[in-house]
Chains A and B, each alone.
Chain A
Amino acid sequence: DGGITQSPKYLFRKEGQNVTLSCEQNLNHDAMYWYRQDPGQGLRLIYYSQIVNDFQKGDIAEGYSVSREKKESFPLTVTSAQKNPTAFYLCASSPEDGRMNTEAFFGQGTRLTVV
């Protein structure tokens, strides 16, 4: 079945550590996105990529880094510079076909907790 896979589902990080969240899709989508969701809040865009080897900062990119070396993969690294990383992280993808009505497909999310 086609879809987006995020791993791990739960992740615990110690203060000062970098951690990487995985996002893989087999939908052949060009665009991929990372969102952060805090309790009771909406989704805020961290980074997005419309094509391999290219990505742009979203609204809250500070303390995060990404790479897009393969079309299927868009890993997110939460660095020690991110002061409040505890949140729910959602990865999404969509076809970059210029049509406005193509919805984004989401993974199941990764819940990151700093201990």
Chain B
Amino acid sequence: AQKITQTQPGMFVQEKEAVTLDCTYDTSDPSYGLFWYKQPSSGEMIFLIYQGSYDQQNATEGRYSLNFQKARKSANLVISASQLGDSAMYFCAMREIQGAQKLVFGQGTRLTINP
């Protein structure tokens, strides 16, 4: 069974600082994908970044990067130069190639950017 753990219920960061949101996962499947989503107060889910289990390099998308440590089964999201608009819930999710390829989510981290 797969499992996603986000251990930080809430994070408070000063504007323009970098922030790291933690995500650890558990799977026995050698092939899997890891995703990060942002959920503003409006409730919509916004896809941010993807990391594949066989990817050799850490994924980057603009101010978002993923610190992927496969041996430790962690996939932390790094947001550089945080902005007030980054305040939101952030979810880590995983999909395995075996089974139904369903997307399973962690509990989320509420990020608050202070001016």
Contact = CB atoms under 8 A, between A and B. Distances in A.
Interface string A43-62: 11100101000001010000
A109 B43 contact: yes
**What class of interface size applies to chain B in its complex with A?**
20 to 34
A64 interface: no
Contact of B50 (A56, A103, A106): A103
Interface in A25-70: 31, 33, 35, 40-45, 48, 50, 56, 58
Interface string A76-104: 00000000000010101010101011011
A108 interface: yes
Interface residues of A, number: 28
B42 to A, nearest CB: 8
Contacts, number: 64
B24 to A, nearest CB: 14
B108 A42 contact: yes
Contact of A43 (B9, B31, B105): B105
Nearest to A111: B43
B12 interface: no
Given A43-B91, A108-B44, A103 B35 contact: yes
Nearest to A99: B33
27 contacts: A31-B101, A33-B103, A40-B9, A40-B108, A41-B108, A42-B4, A42-B105, A42-B106, A45-B102, A45-B103, A45-B104, A48-B100, A48-B102, A58-B102, A88-B43, A92-B103, A96-B101, A98-B97, A100-B52, A100-B53, A100-B95, A101-B33, A104-B35, A104-B45, A105-B47, A108-B43, A111-B43
Interface of B: 4, 6, 9, 31-33, 35, 42-45, 47, 50, 52-53, 91, 93, 95, 97, 100-108, 110
